Structure 1
Amino acid sequence: MTTKARSPGKPIPESEEVHVGDGEAYTCDACNVDLTRNVRIKCAAVGCEEVDLCPTCFCAGKEPDQHKAWHDYRVVGRHSYPILVEDWGADEELQLLDGLSKCGMGNWSAVAELIGTRTPEEVEKHYTECYINSPDWPLPCLEREFDVDYETFQERRKQRIIDLRESLKKKPGPTQPFVSGPTNHEVGGFMPGRREFEHEAENEAEDLVKDLEFGIVLDYGGDQQPDDEEKPEGDSMDVDVEVKVENESGAKNSDPDDEEEPQAPLVPESNDSMQLKLTLLDMYNEKLDARIEAKVIVLERGLTDHKRIQQAERKRSKEDREFINKLKPLARLQTADDFENLVAGLLYENALKRRISELQHYRTMGITTFAEAERYDRERIARDRDRSMGPMRNGFGHRSSVPPGETGQSRAKDDSNLSKSGIASRRPAAPLNLANAQSLHLLTPAEQTLCAALRILPIHFLGIKETLVRECVRRGGRLRRREARELVRIDVHKTGQIWDLLVRTGVLKLAPDVAPATDTAAAGIESATNANPWTSLPASSLAPGQGS
């Protein structure tokens, strides 16, 4: 459907409530854009009259449902100008006739709801004056002309709607009786009128005492109870009369087929039997106390409001919901306000811990600003998405990374060489382009080359360099490579190469007993140079004018 009432609800008497709004709403069946106040294209084909399209979808030839692009159509616009009376627009006249055809003659409340800007009294009065009392009945008089411009007509309509809404605000609404809604019964069979549940807590508590009977109890003062007093002999006539009356009434009301079973005489209770029955009564009282306590917790904290609880839980994350479920056993040990404050404080603590963990992770990665953190998260999400889509890309027609000149035989040859050597070498990552990197001018050419090879931003390299230099000075030059790796929480191989560069360039002044041997250091530098391509990078990866 493309039309709907903006004020949904059941039809109500016109004396109770009046809906004021935009009346019937129209949406495009292709893109669902609102067309209530815009021009729309309405299909005129038989059986397809309910299809409305916006001009954009109509020009694009969209065909929603059974509609076809070659169907007949008509343009429907907002005809906000008077044709019959000065304060009724042509659009309201069309909505009036459409409402009467849909809702029936005399259903002024529903018609006014479809129009949205008129009361039921105004609708009835207008139809009576312009249609029923028209000299051209059943048609209205169409020979009238009004000298009202568009702006003035719109201002009058807006002011009329504002006045109507103000009058409806002052009018008291109908009072609704308090009833037991279906939502209350969904929660454990709750009956709000009686404030009870169909299934109470400890619902089988009565099973303990339902068959419990006591004999003659001589303990707890039972042996001191007075016996029945014997009546004097002079009252024997009264006793005979009472017995006779009882026998006559019993003969009238009793069934001759029903005979009362003789009751066994009461036996005195023993001490063991007495203690057992009293213990059962204590257990029953404890279950009643637990039932009352559970009911008080449920009613005082509004746990029967199922919708409110669901709405509150939808706003929380899965981790928060699981955490709150673990805290629920503590609710009976606190008041409602104290428990809410406890839960709010613990949730806030968890949020702070998560945020601190994120910031520590950013600092470990060398990120010091929120802009860099946002960029890091964006790139990390993109990498994860590309990694998850990697197998699909190779199987759905994407181009292969193998050059066209390389055949299957050459790839098989490479694979055989790899299998013979036993080492699957990984293709090194491309150097990072630092042409527009921040703080690049603060690095030496060798440091720029190393940052490009290790894919580290200059500002992060400066932070690592400052940390190593400060720690080396604090220790008096006694800083070893292993200790440097523990100070900087990045890849250990990257930390070792940075440490080698700083030692070689003299930035780190190491003590004689800590400094590595010259041959060993030279060999390490040479091996690092051969193993990494950062010593022979193209000049395009550096800033203009800063090549080595």
Structure 2
Amino acid sequence: MTITQRKPLRPDDIIINEPGDQYSCDSCGCDLTHSVRIKCADPLCEPGDGVDICPPCFCAGREFRHHKRGHAYRVIEINSYPIFSEDWGADEELLLLKGIATQGFGNWKKIAEHIGTRSKEEVEKHYNEVYIDSQTWPIPKLDLQFSVDPAEFQARKRRRIQALNDTPPPPLKHGPVSLPGIHEIQGFFPGRLEFEHEIDNEAEDLVKDLEFGVCLEWDGDQIIEDEEDLDVRARAKWEEERRNPPPPAEKGRIPGKGPMINGINGYHPPSENGSVATRESLPPKSDDALANGTSSGDGDEEVEEVTQPPPIETKESLAFKLSLLEMYSQRVDKRLEGKEVMFDRGLLDYKKMQASDKKRSREDRDIVHRLRPFAKLQTAADYEVFAADVLYEALLRQRIQELQQYRRLGLATAADIDKYKSDLQKRTLTKANHRDYPTDKHPYRRQSSGPDPRRASLVSFGGDSEGRKSNEREATPRLPGSSTGQGPIVRKLPTPLNLANSPSLHLLSAAEQVLCAQLRILPKPYLVVKETLVREYARRGGKLRRREARELVKIDVNKTSRVWDFLVQQGFLNIASDVSSNHASSSQDASTASGSQVNGSPIKDPRPLSSQQNGPAPVPSTSSS
């Protein structure tokens, strides 16, 4: 992660709405920027910025430094009258041109600071209207006449300056903090509006080495050339050599070069006796000549740096190079179109796009991803409407398929569909309850004194007593060939939970560990359920029903019933003694049933197992499970 530290702005850096040129009296030091001043015209006071004097000091005949009261002078007025625009004075026009010359064209912010009475938007707009859009470009129209009262013009200028001064300074910018920014997430540089790897990043390789020579097409031969330009001088010399070719070179010499000495080219003028002067025999060059890059010989003998004249572009070479530029321009336009799509759609806001995708379902996200190629063909608003319509179409298609499925099932009205959904939900819950109840072989099966309506559908057809057939609904008949005399096969119980590494396991007894493993409950939650039931049982004085226990513990009701039965069997809840006492105090008829319903606890059958298998015994009450 890149951490940048930026110094806070100093108060001196805040924009001050004053003109860039400040004038003050050289005698008393008063400000003369917005008033008439006297400028000394004597050559003795002219060097530098000259001498500026305020009218009171000039009338008093003040003398200071080299200035004398008898020197020539000029009166400098404030040119606050319009010449090109009704609300721009001549002084502002001069400051505008001077600001462009000093600050650079296009640097409107610095130019506005130089003028001092205009904003950068006003400066740019005025320059484009007066100079760029002028019919006499590049010169503005000079025959404009404005009938503006000078007093009103100055009053408007003062109000404008006051408004600029009253504008609060821009707030200080806080330095960037060390957090993941948008440029770190997507390789984007917000200040430059560029990416670390642009689209078609190799497009510049096509024209990076492209050079143009002299183009004589499209009135290129009428362009005025600078005679001091090196290319122009080289081309003129080349044309002169073509008109007056040099004599053929001597053997062993290269034109424009010296003779070949030991395989090295060099210019060695011959001596008087015809021998070649060696390096030692030549007069040494002065240090100034070496520093300036000139030789100590005559000017005609100086060998200038050989500059190859730029080639003249033929029609074929010019067409080829222009084709390369056109190809590059097309690739750049494609890159800009891709950027425009990203900027208009807000694709750079990574978190916003991620949150928007999370709100949609997986099917909707797939549809939106398939629609992305169409974003380049539409505006941002049109694409959003198009995507919403396609998603709505997919929703309608899904609903139509659901209705067709209901029609195949024979459901024709909305009421039939609602009833079908309700029955389907009940059937699903019934199957889930059947899976939760164990078979008769389970050691901790529920001991209920009355018939359980949830087990009524499990009773085999014709395999029960007449009394139970009359009290319960008729079970579904078995298919031919199925086994008789036994209940339906219940789904296998889930695998017991492995509690070997569970915390608080040492706080449970062996029976409790088996119960938690079968119910797939961890020891700590079981201890909480156990403590809740035992405390509530003690607080109510032993009058706690099974249904109330289910409301106290917010877990699966079947698991709550299993824990209730286990606590009763282990003696934590003394429900049997309460039932026996209520049975002894009540009468032997229907009052016995009402007493057992108050307690809501199961009663164990005191008969042995052999007598229970002979037939069902009359039950005193029905469990309120």
TM-score (norm 1): 0.32
Higher helix share: 1
| Structure having the higher Rg | 2
